[in-house]
Amino acid sequence: RTGQSVTVIGLGPMGRAIAAAFLDRGYAVTLWNRTSSRADDLVSRGAVLAPDVEQALAANEVVILSLTDYAAMYDVLNPAAAALTGRVLVNLSSDTPERARAAARWAAERGAVHLTGGITVPPSGIGQPDSATFYSGPRETFDRHRPLLEVITGRTDHRGEDPGLAALFYQLGMVMFWTSMLSYWQAIALARANGLTAADILPHATETANSLPGFFAFYAERIDAGHHLGDVDRLSMGTASVEHVLHTNADAGVDTALPAAVAGLFRRGMDAGHAADSFSSLVELMTKGEA
């Protein structure tokens, strides 16, 4: 034992991996979960299952929350609100920046400090030196508990005092993750409709994905410089291309919701007069949230 201790509330795949990582490092771990049986393996490794939320909160200053969302946090903690005074809530549940800000105010009203966390790895990355979590909230609290936080992921990235920032950085990653993965499902659907397997297209899919960071860097500089020169690509060319994508999918009889949405954005850019600009001009239309 290190003499250090922590409470973990929420024992989904993430919470269980987090609790296991603390046990691995010799922490005394107190647990609570709505479905208590999910604690069984951890208890057999020496963790203590608190009989109720109050006692889980009372056991330690630092309370890790790993719940589905912030609504679950209120469900769990509201009945035990009196026990929140003096606690540091490290909330690793994902949700919106606005809900993280509201939770920080809610915690402060009850004498607790809220640190927002956004873990960027799946359960298999927990406890690994190269995995990372975004944090935001009081810097002093973050610094004081940094060694404990580094048990969860080896790297910690404090984005600022605004409790919404860690949630924002988490969501920035998720925007890209879900959409990119759906683009991969789309390619697999199209491949299968043509008699190919996911394995057949894996090398090509991987090469395509690996080419993206070069585009990110190239366009980031131009976008921040405020121009969308049509010198290397023109929106009119891109629009023709995404129409080919849409029709290739339609001809194969696979779902067209995703390629149709993409083609719709390009058409709106054309309608807004950007035919001769780069397709990066779509970012202006998307920023304004209007056609």
* Residue 72 or 149 having the CB closest to ligand NDP: 72
Closest residue (Cβ) to ligand NDP?
A: 12
Residues 74-103 that bind ligand NDP (CB under 6 A): 75-76, 92-94
Site for ligand NDP in 54-73 (CB under 6 A): 66-69, 72
One symbol per residue from 18 to 57: x for binding ligand NDP (CB under 6 A), - otherwise; what is it?
A: ---------------xxx--x-------------------
Which C-beta is closer to ligand NDP: that of 174 or that of 276?
A: 174
CB of 124 to ligand NDP, least distance (A): 9
Min. distance of Cβ 79 from ligand NDP in angstroms? 11
Size, binding site for ligand NDP by CB under 6 A: 23
Pairing relationship of beta strands 113-119 and 132-136 according to DSSP bridges: antiparallel
Binder of ligand NDP out of 8, 14, 23, 29 (CB under 6 A):
14
| Residue 153 sits in the site that holds ligand NDP (CB under 6 A) | no
Min CB(71)–ligand NDP separation in Å: 7
Q: Which residues contact ligand NDP (rule: CB under 6 A)?
A: 10-15, 33-35, 38, 66-69, 72, 75-76, 92-94, 119, 122-123
